[in-house]
Structure 1
């Protein structure tokens, strides 16, 4: 790997990590020595890349630093295009349009020699099954999740039993043929998953729930790991 490529990869590794990374961890991923990583970190800091930390404790990339989009690698472009094509065929209408726009933008900003990687990637997703009909506006649901607002939901389970719930929405799950709204349910006092095709009614409330959406989402992920 060329030194310039290695410097770029170090930035990428630090950017995707939420915790300090040691030189040993970075060296292991790049298949090089710790001494080389120490030297490269010093070079990056000398170039005013905002890396904070020290040997033995780990390094982090401070916020506010970015790289131009043309620095995307071939694998990164293909990963983005592959994910966008999955969303295009399986997402709700708003996300599907956004995915198509993303592919077009990728093709427009990358160098010409990499354009086919975005428009005609060699990696493919399987054919999407016919999705069930959403009985709720998922674009609006995502907006309510970002704002941390409650939703009043009329819902029928698989036995046809109807209930009325007040939900604290945290995520939307996209599967091949069905979609789920994941939320903290005030009725059950726990996290629950609701198929969007079984929703009978929905009222988007202006009341905010008491926790930050990111904190509530972290609690939900923790329950999944424990189960």
Structure 2
């Protein structure tokens, strides 16, 4: 079981960078303890000067200006980082792979010697599989369009080999190995659609930007049942 000091650090980490309140139920699940224990831990953090606001039954928020000092990682966290970097390198594009390697290098430079030794001893690997499905569109351009909320126009070929031109509000990319899906609001169908990026023949990022509208945003997509369509 996690020691209390480790748990207090994890609670602070869970609250850090969150836009909204985090419930005690969620924190308890992540720390594998009771909600009552989390209530006591939150009170202890507040007494020690950590700027947490909120209350039981509503949730807790950490002041955005508060930051923990750099932390060491335990072995499972290190293995997760190394494996995640390897998977990013093998299942995205070169640009994102370089970013993943750069991030891991920064982490290595900040690790104390014992943690660095554990990192070098990690025996978890990821290699590109023979079932890898290639694509021709710019993976990083899609990520940019999602991040900056640019509409895109795509020439798409569906599973029946029928082609169409779609204007899409790109919302997210989902990896369902070995396939990547682009999910978005399709202005032709006036509904959410999933597009396999290996079936996108042409991609153009438009100058039009979009704002989230009720019924058309990522949260609305998550609340619906769309992931099982696999870009049909």
Distance 1:184 1:25, change over 3 A: closer
Post-superposition offset of 1:33: 8.8
Contact 1:7–1:40 (Cα < 8 Å) also in 2:
yes
Contact 1:183–1:191 (Cα < 8 Å) also in 2:
yes
Partner of 1:163: 164
- Counterpart CA distance in 2 for 1:222 and 1:23 is 21
Partner of 1:107: 108
In structure 1, the gaps of 5 or more residues are none
Q: How does 1:1-227 map to 2 (within 5 A)?
A: 2-15=3-16, 18-22=20-24, 26=28, 29=31, 31=33, 34=36, 40-54=41-55, 58-125=59-126, 128-129=129-130, 131-211=132-212, 216-224=217-225
Distance 1:177 1:54, change over 3 A: closer
- Counterpart CA distance in 2 for 1:84 and 1:216 is 29
Contact 1:90–1:128 (Cα < 8 Å) also in 2:
no
Query: RMSD between aligned alpha carbons?
Result: 3.2
Post-superposition offset of 1:127: 5.2
Post-superposition offset of 1:146: 1.0
Secondary structure at the aligned position of 2:225 is classed as helix
Post-superposition offset of 1:142: 0.8
In structure 2, the gaps of 5 or more residues are none
Name whichever of 52-61 and 146-155 sits farther off. Answer: 52-61
- Counterpart CA distance in 2 for 1:44 and 1:73 is 22
Post-superposition offset of 1:96: 1.5
Post-superposition offset of 1:58: 4.5
Post-superposition offset of 1:2: 5.0
Contact 1:182–1:192 (Cα < 8 Å) also in 2:
yes
Post-superposition offset of 1:160: 1.9
Distance 1:20 1:158, change over 3 A: closer
Distance 1:173 1:27, change over 3 A: closer
User: Structure 1-normalised TM-score?
Assistant: 0.81
Secondary structure at the aligned position of 2:161 is classed as coil
| Alignment: residue pair count | 224
